[in-house]
C-alpha cells in the first residue's frame, strides 16, 4: 500500500557487494536516483524548512546504504546543503565506500555529547561543503551505543543538523532486524523504505510497515 517513489535498476557495472558510491554506478542508475530525488523534492515544493529523511529496509543487503548515499549526493549536486548521518552503528560502511578514514569524532561522540555536530562533520573532494557527513566513529560502533538513540540527544542531533542543512539523510539499520533506529524513525520527517526484488521477504516488509 505504499507509493513507489523510484525503481533503481540492477547495475552490472557496480561491485557486487558493499555500498556503492556514485562514481561506481552507471549513468542509467544515477538517473534513477535523480528520479528519486525529484519525487521527494516535488512533495515539498512550497516548504521552506529543512527536511529529514530516514532510509531503512526490512533486512540487510537490500541496498539501503547505497540508496541513502546516492540520494544524499544527488541532492547535493542539485545545490542543496545536505548532512548525511550514519546511524547504522553495528555495520558502518560509508567511510570505506567514500575512501575516507574512520573519523576520530562522529555519530557516537555527538550522541555521547563529547563533541559538537559541526566539528564532527567531514566532507569529500567530490561534493565539498554541499555534502557533509557524520560517520560512525570508534566511540559509537557496536550494539551498546544503540540505546543512546532513545535519549533526547538523538532528537537534538536531528534538530541541529536541520538548522544548518536543507536536507538531513539518515542511514538507518534495518528496522525489523534491530530496534536501534526506531526513535530516529519517529523523529524524522519522512521514512524511505528500500526493497530489493528477489531478496526482500514480504512478511518482514509487512512487519516493517506495522
Judged against a pLDDT cut of 70, whether residue 146 lies above it is answered with no
Question: What is the mean pLDDT of the segment spanning 116-128?
Answer: 91
Judged against a pLDDT cut of 90, whether residue 83 lies above it is answered with yes
Higher pLDDT: 114 or 169? It is 169
61: left (phi over 0), alpha (psi -120 to 50) or beta: left
| pLDDT computed for residue 79 by the predictor | 93
Judged against a pLDDT cut of 80, whether residue 188 lies above it is answered with yes
CA distance 121 to 195: 29
Q: Long-range pairs for 159-163 at CB < 8 Å and ≥24 separation?
A: 160/117, 161/50, 161/52, 161/83, 161/85, 161/117, 161/134, 162/49, 162/50, 162/51, 162/52, 163/50
Question: What is the mean pLDDT of the segment spanning 34-63?
Answer: 85
pLDDT band at 132 (very low <50, low <70, confident <90, very high): very high
CA distance 81 to 166: 5
Higher pLDDT: 179 or 47? It is 179
Higher pLDDT: 135 or 178? It is 135
Amino acid at each position: 500500500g505504499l507509493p513507489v517513489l523510484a525503481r533503481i535498476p540492477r547495475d552490472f557495472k557496480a561491485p557486487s557487494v558493499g555500498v556503492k558510491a556514485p562514481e561506481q554506478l552507471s549513468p542509467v542508475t544515477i538517473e534513477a536516483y535523480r528520479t528519486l530525488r525529484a519525487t521527494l523534492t516535488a512533495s515539498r515544493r512550497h516548504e521552506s524548512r529543512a527536511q529529514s529523511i530516514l532510509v531503512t529496509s526490512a533486512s540487510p543487503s537490500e541496498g539501503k546504504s547505497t540508496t541513502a548515499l546516492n540520494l544524499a549526493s544527488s541532492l547535493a549536486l542539485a545545490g542543496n546543503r545536505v548532512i548525511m548521518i550514519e546511524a547504522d552503528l553495528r555495520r558502518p560502511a560509508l567511510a570505506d565506500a567514500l575512501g575516507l578514514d574512520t573519523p576520530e569524532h562522529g555519530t557516537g561522540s555527538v550522541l555521547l555529547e563529547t563533541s559538537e555536530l559541526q566539528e564532527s562533520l567531514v566532507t569529500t573532494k567530490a561534493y565539498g561543503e554541499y555534502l557533509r557527513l557524520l560517520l560512525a566513529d570508534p566511540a559509537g560502533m557496536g550494539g551498546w551505543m544503540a540505546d543512546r538513540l532513545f535519549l533526547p540527544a538523538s532528537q537534538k542531533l536531528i534538530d541541529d543538523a536541520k538548522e544548518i542543512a536543507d536536507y538531513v539523510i539518515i542511514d538507518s539499520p534495518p528496522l525489523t532486524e534491530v530496534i536501534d533506529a526506531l526513535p530516529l524513525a519517529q523523529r524524522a520527517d519522512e521514512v524511505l523504505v528500500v526493497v530489493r526484488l528477489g531478496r526482500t521477504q514480504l512478511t518482514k516488509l509487512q512487519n516493517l510497515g506495522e
